[in-house]
A = this chain, B = another copy of it.
Amino acid sequence: MLRGAAWIALLGILYVGAPGYGDSSAIRGFFADHVSAERAAEQKLLQIPDAANAEANLRQLTAQPHMAGTEASHRVAQWLLAQYQSYGFDAAIESYSVYLPVPEERELELVEPEKQTLATPEQPYEWDKDTYDARAVPAFNAYSASGEVTAQVVYANYGMMDDYRRLADLGVHVEGKIVIARYGEGFRGVKAQLAEEHKAVALLIYSDPADDGFFAGDPYPRGPWRPMSGIQRGSILYTSKYPGDPLTPGIAATPDAKRLSPAEAKNLPHIPVLPINAQDAGAILSHMGGQNVPRGWQGTLPFTYHLGPGQAVVHLKVKMDYQQRNIYDVIARIHGEDDNSWVVFGNHHDAWVFGAVDPNSGTASMLEAARALGQLTRGGWKPKRTIVFCEWDAEEFGLIGSTEWVEAHQQELQQKALTYVNTDVGVAGPDFSASAVPSLKEFVREVTQSVSDPCAGRSVFEVWKERLAKDAANPTGVARTEPKASADEPVPLGALGAGSDFCPFLDHAGIPAVDMGFGGPYGVYHSQYDDFYWMKHFGDPTFAYHAAMGRIIGVMALRFSSADVMPFDYSAYAKEVSGMVADLQKRAKDAGAAPTASSVAASTAAPTPENVEGDSQKETSGVTVELKPAVDAAAQLAASAERARQSLAVLCSSSVDAARIAEINHALAGVEQAFLAAQGLAGRPWYRHQIYAPGSYTGYESVVIPGVREPLDRKDYVAAQAAVADLADALRRAATQLDAVAQLASSLH
């Protein structure tokens, strides 16, 4: 019935621009005469997500530890399957056999200057029975090598690239030593990789209370931050090389897949690595000799930190049980009128322990969105496109469930999937934030204008905007990777890195992606304290934000599945790319690697007597990085995007030819795929996107245009110049794709 109303034949011009926020007469991607029906469907949907339901579902999901590879994880997948089926989804489990470790032996002791047995467990608290659950996996770093060492210790701050440079400056070397580094400032896998590259014999990673413990705020159970015994588990798979099953890069880990041997896998660590709590770290660090740490390296354990080596000697034994283990993805669909056009939503279901926030708050929210969509469907609504909800397994081990599924269905996905929306840490507090490809940033902002913040009595968007303005004026002590608000961009969205399951979709398959959730003070990440008690006391006691997250996912599903023209804004994308290229030019210039002023002037402007004469003596003969091809290609992309925008803007209901519109929509989504290069990035072919990839040595955070940026930063200007050509090719492919969009659209006028 609702769907019928959408077809009332009021002619209307498509909204592809940006009217005043909350302009109820327009919704991005909808013909004007389809807006009121969409609004009606959205109003209906918004009523459905329910806090009590979300709470009950989270309680169910967090009832027991359910790490990937365990039977508990399989049971969660089966329960999710049943839930989606009960909502009316066409759902199934897809299973893969992947190479997963579980810890078998873990020993840690201080042997000098005094004996002390460490590797102390997370402390239980009597009022939270979950903290007594013997099924919780002891703290470990997945994909640690097995090994046993006794050695002196060196403190390496966060254990990132700059920290090793600083240690070298101070004359401290880690070869043959055990490195102890704190969590933070980058992916733990990069810490392991750097320790290995610097020939350390082992790595201990601990949580300093300066970063997510008492210095940030009250620790659990008084507050939401990490207690002294809390440990951050987590994978150290070298996912910057490739994520997913380490033995089947680029192909699905089906039972009969051709597998590498573990020795051949390029993303497996070779030294033992163990995560420890602050109290164990204190026992080691307080006994260390050597120099005092440089400024900024002192954490807030109650003593003066020293770099070592000397005095403290530690014995570490880690034994891992590596096996092929089955993992279980749940894939649930509401079939649309066009079953060859998919809009995909996802989150993982595996957790290190209970995973109330990570990942189940996202799943509990998705379930409410799914229930709402199911209810609309039962009421007669049918989406234009197929809505796919995915629940991934083994994300925690290295984005494995999603990567294997993308690898298994790559061709079909690239033909059918128009978008992927990820909701991992769905609710850790009341602070909405999102990352997205530039073409979808404004879309995300608009969706959040249609959903109310449960506390503030204003839209999620308004509260988000106010928070960013306040943060910009008065930054908090706790590091956020969130971009900062500015006058130009009051509500910025971040760049997509590799922290969750959007990575294979965007970086490998070129599917336009969004990642989003409500954040907050959350110090119990990957510990046993990330449980139902925590959520009920700190994260979202009323579950109102779970319901709000369900509404956001639901509205997004409605708009993506039913928009006339998919709401991609490639002019915005082109503008961001131009900015990134300009930033690279500046970096090249600052590094002294820019071509001389005269060569730039000569290539960008007609020579004048002044610049020819004045600059003729400044020419240098060194290797430089000429970004002009990329500047030109970005300008071409911007021009093509603008032409496509104009052609699309005059489409309206009267010009509709469903098949042709679908063709346009796939062509539009295909612009993202045009950014992929078949050969991938240098040294890591799995990563094919030329604009977005995790940094090789950041691991979570995106390094934009990594192909150029990373060699530029390490002064390999030959490689950087080669990557400029690949980038320009990709930008031109995207421009050509947009030209095709414009042509298709014009043919419908």
Contact = CB atoms under 8 A, between A and B. Distances in A.
Given A209-B302, A302-B209, A218 B295 contact: no
A304 B477 contact: no
Interface in A11-44: none
Nearest to A223: B304
Instruction: Please indicate which of the listed interface residues A209, A215, A302 has the most CB atoms of chain B within 10 Å of its own CB.
Output: A302
A298 interface: yes
B214 A295 contact: no
Interface in A109-153: none
Question: What are the 3 A-B residue pairs with the smallest beta carbon separation, nearest first?
Answer: A302-B302, A218-B304, A214-B304
Nearest to A282: B302
A463 to B, nearest CB: 21
24 contacts: A209-B302, A214-B302, A214-B303, A214-B304, A215-B298, A215-B300, A215-B304, A217-B292, A217-B304, A218-B292, A218-B304, A219-B304, A222-B304, A223-B292, A223-B304, A225-B304, A295-B474, A295-B476, A295-B477, A298-B477, A300-B300, A300-B302, A301-B302, A302-B302
A214 B302 CA distance: 7
Contacts of A476: 295
Interface in A202-228: 209, 214-215, 217-219, 222-223, 225
Contacts of A219: 304
**Chain A interface helix/strand/loop/mixed:** loop
Given A214-B302, A223-B304, A295-B474, 16 more contacts: A214-B303, A215-B300, A215-B304, A217-B292, A217-B304, A218-B304, A219-B304, A222-B304, A223-B292, A225-B304, A295-B476, A295-B477, A300-B300, A300-B302, A301-B302, A302-B302
Contacts of A301: 302
A210 to B, nearest CB: 9
Contacts of A217: 292, 304
Instruction: Please indicate which of the listed interface residues A214, A304, A477 has the most CB atoms of chain B within 10 Å of its own CB.
Output: A304
A478 to B, nearest CB: 10
A223 B304 CA distance: 10
Contacts of A223: 292, 304
A351 to B, nearest CB: 27
A307 to B, nearest CB: 13
Nearest to A218: B304
A290 to B, nearest CB: 12
A222 B476 CA distance: 34
A212 to B, nearest CB: 12
Contacts of A298: 215, 477
A292 to B, nearest CB: 6
Contacts of A474: 295
A9 to B, nearest CB: 58
A311 to B, nearest CB: 11
A223 B214 CA distance: 26
Interface in A291-339: 292, 295, 298, 300-304
Contacts of A477: 295, 298
A218 B295 CA distance: 13
Interface in A599-644: none
A386 B214 CA distance: 61
Nearest to A294: B474
A225 B222 CA distance: 32
Interface string A332-367: 000000000000000000000000000000000000
A301 B295 CA distance: 19
Interface string A147-186: 0000000000000000000000000000000000000000
A16 to B, nearest CB: 43
Contacts of A302: 209, 214, 300-302
Nearest to A302: B302
Interface in A460-516: 474, 476-477
Contacts of A295: 474, 476-477
Interface string A692-736: 000000000000000000000000000000000000000000000
A304 B222 CA distance: 10
